[in-house]
Amino acid sequence: MTAMAVIEESRTRASYPSLAGKRVLVTGGATGIGAGMVEAFAAQKARVAFIDIDQQAGETIASRFSPGGFHACDLRDLEALAATIGRIAAALGGIDILINNAANDDRHRIGEVTPAYWDERMATNLRHLFFAAQAVIPAMKAAGGGAIINFGSISWHLGLPDLVLYQTAKAAIEGMTRSMARDLGRDGIRVTTIVPGNVQTPRQEQWYTPEGENEIVAAQCLPGRIQPADVAALALFLASDDARMCTGHEYFVDAGWR
Ligand SMILES: NC(=O)c1ccc[n+]([C@@H]2O[C@H](COP(=O)([O-])OP(=O)(O)OC[C@H]3O[C@@H](n4cnc5c(N)ncnc54)[C@H](O)[C@@H]3O)[C@@H](O)[C@H]2O)c1
């Protein structure tokens, strides 16, 4: 058995008493890493609501991990987003933890980008994170604090091809995180970014052949593929009181991909 297999087999997940009963909102929780976080926070006995555009997948995840927790909404529609967050906050009595996870990494070439496509990509990958945060901040302040976790991406750190708008948005998210952390720290609101490496999700499987996956693993320091649960483990820590002095920075879970 390899050393990595031993680690995987003997692994037991941490539990965080401070997360029990916390009111959590995850965007993009119907599939991939988001679904992993819905599952992980529910296992901590948090009260989890999630937003997604994918009705069928959302209902499936809700029925498994968070009955009644799914709220269908297109995050590009800011009026619908505000109304949806208002309904969720009213139902839960507030929101303690916001996880800005949803994004879309469609490939594109510089020459093909129109102003309309630019706007649509920023609406999908950047704008809703700011407005979701803006919507939950008053209740977090009233409650004496909260945690906002934004999702970045290793892609722009590596400079991957055919992703210029996605990577532009993901770079901006790290700047937004630092700015918000400064503005909100005195209110007890911590703002962080999680930077995933290549995580084995159904959507990622569509981009990579087995040979491509092997190339990524070869470029990582650690062998093996990163799973949504590995990313959720970092989100649990950053959302918990154990991370009470963590804010304003980005935290990688990338198996050392360079
Ligand atoms: N999987 C990876 O390898 C990887 C690598 C780096 C960064 N990330 C980041 O991690 C986060 C999660 O990635 P993932 O791989 O789980 O993505 P995914 O595509 O598997 O899931 C994203 C979810 O967001 C939802 N969504 C997308 N656009 C939406 C919209 N307009 N309105 C509502 N819901 C919408 C989708 O329906 C989907 O359920 C993203 O921010 C992504 O950029 C992922």
Q: Per-residue pLDDT tens for 130-151? A: 999 999 999 999 999 999 999 9
Task: Say if residue 5's pLDDT is above 80.
Answer: no
Helix (H) or strand (E) holding 133: helix 128-143
Task: Please indicate whether residue 30, judged by its CB atom, sits closer than 6 Å to ligand 1.
Answer: yes
**Contact present, 195 and 154 (Cβ < 8 Å):** yes
CB of 166 closer than 8 Å to CB of 109: no
Q: Is the CB of 127 under 6 A from ligand 1?
A: no
C-alpha of residue 138 to centroid of ligand 1, in Å: 26
d(CA 71, ligand 1 centre) in Å: 16
At residue 8 the predicted structure's pLDDT band, cuts being 50, 70 and 90, is: low
Looking at the chain, the whole-number percentage of residues with pLDDT higher than 90 is 91
pLDDT at 11: 66
List phi, psi (to 5°) of 245.
-110, 20
How far apart are alpha carbons 144 and 140 in whole angstroms? 6
| Whether the Cβ atoms of residue 77 and residue 123 lie closer than 8 Å to each other | no
Active site residue 166: yes
Instruction: Judge residue 72's burial from the number of C-beta atoms within 10 Å of its C-beta, 0-12 exposed, 13-18 middle, 19 or more buried.
Output: middle
Write down the mean pLDDT value for the chain: 95
- Positive or negative: CA dihedral 55, 155, 157, 258: positive
Average pLDDT over residues 174-203: 97
Could you say which of 16, 117, 166, 251 is catalytic? 166
d(CA 120, CA 166): 11
Q: What is the mean pLDDT of residues 192-201?
A: 97
Pocket probe for ligand 1: among 55, 107, 128, 153, the residue whose CB has the most ligand atoms within 8 Å is 153
The whole-number pLDDT of residue 1 equals 39
How confident is the model over 161-188, as a mean pLDDT? 98
Residue 7 has pLDDT above 60, yes or no: no
Highest average pLDDT, of 45-49, 199-203, 209-213, comes from 45-49
Q: What is the mean pLDDT of residues 56-80?
A: 98
CB atoms within 10 A of CB 28: 26
Q: What pLDDT shows up at residue 6?
A: 44
Answer whether 34 contacts ligand 1 (Cβ < 6 A): yes
Q: Which of the listed residues 70, 101, 129 should we mutate to test ligand 1's pocket, taking the one with most ligand atoms within 8 A of CB?
A: 101
Is the CB of 124 inside a 6 Å radius of any atom of ligand 1? yes
Mean pLDDT of 217-226: 97
Burial of 209 (0-12, 13-18, 19+ CB in 10 A): exposed
Averaged pLDDT for residues 94-122 = 98
Report the pLDDT value the prediction gives residue 208, as an integer from 0 to 100.
83
